[in-house]
Chain A
Amino acid sequence: MTLPRRGPRLLQFTLYNLLRKPGRSLAAVIAVVLAAGTAFAGALISVGVHHSVAVGMERLGADLMVVPQGTMTSTHTALVLGEPVAFYMDGSTVQKVAGVPGVRSASPQTYVETLSTAACCTGRMFLVGFDAKTDFTVQPWLRAVLGRDLRDDEILIGAHILQQVGSTMRFFGTEFKVAGVLDPTGMGMDETAFLPASSVAAMAENSTRLAEKPLTIPSGSVSAVMVRLANPAQAEGMARQIEAAVPGVSAMTAGQVTQGVNRDLSDLMAWLLPLAGGILLVAMLLFIMLFSAVTAERSREIGLLRAMGATQRQTVTALVGEAMLLGILGAALGVGAGAVVYMLFEKPLQIDYALPFLWPSIVQQVGLGLAVVAGSALIAGLAAALPAMRIARLEPHYAIHVRR
């Protein structure tokens, strides 16, 4: 026989009630698991998308991106998802953009879409050729991590490309050695390979001999111009100025990329939020009904506790505490379930809704989980508070003898 050292305290009393009535507890826990799981998954998506955009835009390092007119949508898709694009404009655009007052620096990039099925290429991929002299997107990373410039036969790859440092990749018949793997951003950069523009030009030249289908890049052309502004706060105005000064281009601000992602996120949230709200509402109603039924069923028991000396406050505390414990348990399971369900549907969701995603830091994830647990405990407590207060206010005689 195991004996307690002393009588059960209120918390123990509520714990015993939960553990020794598993069926009743399970019904409440399932309701909370559904609500908390959906809430956590929704919050995770929202935080992860914004985190990804923040990291991605910081990596991009540009305040503006200038592309040929009519290519903004595909550029957005390339930036967000790494979907290969290839478009070109005259190389003189770089000087013209650099000459617009307020532009601090401008650096060209050349985009290449590699072939998916040809023997000359490792696979369909988005290659970005950067100007080693002016680049401010890849070079800072190179200097910090590699400590040197890329050689002509070297390539940098995004975190989602399944290659290791030292391995080789072949594009249009030219072999490149992977010199480094970039940190993940959750955006298209993770699916992108970077190499010097001079290597892109050499690759195009050699492709006529080495590839089944040659790579054709108009001479002296570039795909995009990355722009840094003297005053980044004026990005929107500068974009309009550049478009006015350089005919045939569109200027996209970092804010526009973020807005685009937010629009796509809204499409997802348009059904996820009502779903989460609906589940939350049903869970709350279920909780209120369950606790109303439970308190009514236990009115005699509660009357007994009151007769033994439990105050109204202690009675409410015990009942609300019981509900909050269920809320905490259900939410903890829900957070785990929400994370697992999200992991299972991560890729399809990102592709269907064109959303970048980067798992938030462990601290953020734990914080998010704790917030959901705390919120669930609070809602469960509130749902139980009304019936608990009603029954606790009843005179014990009525609770014991009259109210069944």
Chain B
Amino acid sequence: MITLDHVKKTYRSQNQTVEAVQEYSEEIQPGEFVIITGRSGAGKSTLLSLIGGLIRPDTGRVLVEGHDLWALSDEERSRLRCRTMGFVFQFASLIPTLTVLENVLLPTAFLPEGEGGDLNRALELLSRVGLAEQADRLPWQLSGGQQKRVAVARALLLRPAVLLADEPTADLDEQTEAEITALFGEVNRAGTTVVIATHNTDLSVRATRHLVLSGGLVTHAS
């Protein structure tokens, strides 16, 4: 279970203060499919980063599987992130110097030897996203859509309990978008909690919950 307990995040620059997420509490149950929508700058990415422990809230707590993320050491928080969360980002998020297969296997580099996903799992995921034949290619040899599919495969390698995706279908053609959306649905049916920040309201048909953000405030939840 993910708990946001009165979290708040404000960005401050020299002459500007932006309340990216106003004080907010929420509980996301295991196996939920949550989508977060809102206009650009509404605070979707920040909320997702708060859930994933990628950014520290100014106030409040974030609990994942009972652990207060910011009460943990960097080592413990990183391990928890590695073992329980998978991330898909909007941009091409592959490491340019690693092959497709190495990119998918990368999360295992941060776990003790012998822990985590293996080669068969990586190949199975690449096959699932239709890229098994591209395994030894470098990212620049793939299209944007293909790179996004590789990133999804990587996020799923360690069978995360939570999948967090930031605009995963942006800039994709219709067919790829449908494939990735279907894959998220499949992963969710298998028990993974899915939280997606998106402009794409079509995803709401799959969602168990739909949060709408505006100016850092959740204005609507259904």
Interface residues of chain A, those whose CB is within 8 Å of chain B, are 1-10, 12-13, 16-17, 19-21, 300-301, 303-314, 395-398, 400-401
Q: Are A4 and B55 neighbours in the complex by a CB distance under 8 Å?
A: no
Q: Are A16 and B135 neighbours in the complex by a CB distance under 8 Å?
A: no
Bound-complex Cα distance A4 to B123 (A): 11
Q: Are B110 and A4 neighbours in the complex by a CB distance under 8 Å?
A: no
B144 is an interface residue with CB less than 8 A from chain A: no
Q: Which chain A positions have C-beta within 8 A of B142?
A: none
Q: Chain B 30-64 against A: per-residue CB contact (8 Å), 1 yes, 0 no?
A: 00000000000000011001001011100000000
Interface residues of chain B, those whose CB is within 8 Å of chain A, are 45-46, 49, 52, 54-56, 74-75, 78-79, 81-83, 87, 89, 91, 93, 95-98, 101-102, 105-111, 113, 116-119, 122, 135-136, 138, 154
Query: Given A306-B78, A309-B83, A395-B54, A20 and B110 touching (CB < 8 A)?
Result: no
Q: Are B136 and A7 neighbours in the complex by a CB distance under 8 Å?
A: no
Q: Are A8 and B98 neighbours in the complex by a CB distance under 8 Å?
A: yes
Q: How far is the CB of B221 from chain A (nearest CB, A)?
A: 23
**Nearest A residue to B52, CB-CB:** A307
Bound-complex Cα distance A311 to B82 (A): 10
Q: Which chain A positions have C-beta within 8 A of B136?
A: 1-3
Bound-complex Cα distance A130 to B54 (A): 84
Q: Are A13 and B109 neighbours in the complex by a CB distance under 8 Å?
A: yes
Q: Which chain A positions have C-beta within 8 A of B102?
A: 4, 7-8, 16
Q: Which chain A positions have C-beta within 8 A of B54?
A: 303, 306-307, 395-397, 400
**Nearest B residue to A402, CB-CB:** B11
Q: A304-B89, A313-B74, A397-B46 are in contact. List 12 more A-B contacts (CB 8 A).
A: A1-B136, A3-B136, A4-B102, A4-B105, A6-B105, A8-B105, A8-B106, A13-B95, A306-B78, A308-B106, A395-B55, A400-B54
Q: Are B55 and A308 neighbours in the complex by a CB distance under 8 Å?
A: no
**Nearest B residue to A5, CB-CB:** B119
Q: Are A313 and B75 neighbours in the complex by a CB distance under 8 Å?
A: yes
**Nearest A residue to B80, CB-CB:** A309
Q: Which 9 A-B pairs have the closest CB atoms?
A: A309-B82, A7-B105, A7-B108, A397-B55, A397-B49, A20-B97, A309-B110, A397-B54, A396-B54
Q: How far is the CB of A73 from chain B (nearest CB, A)?
A: 62
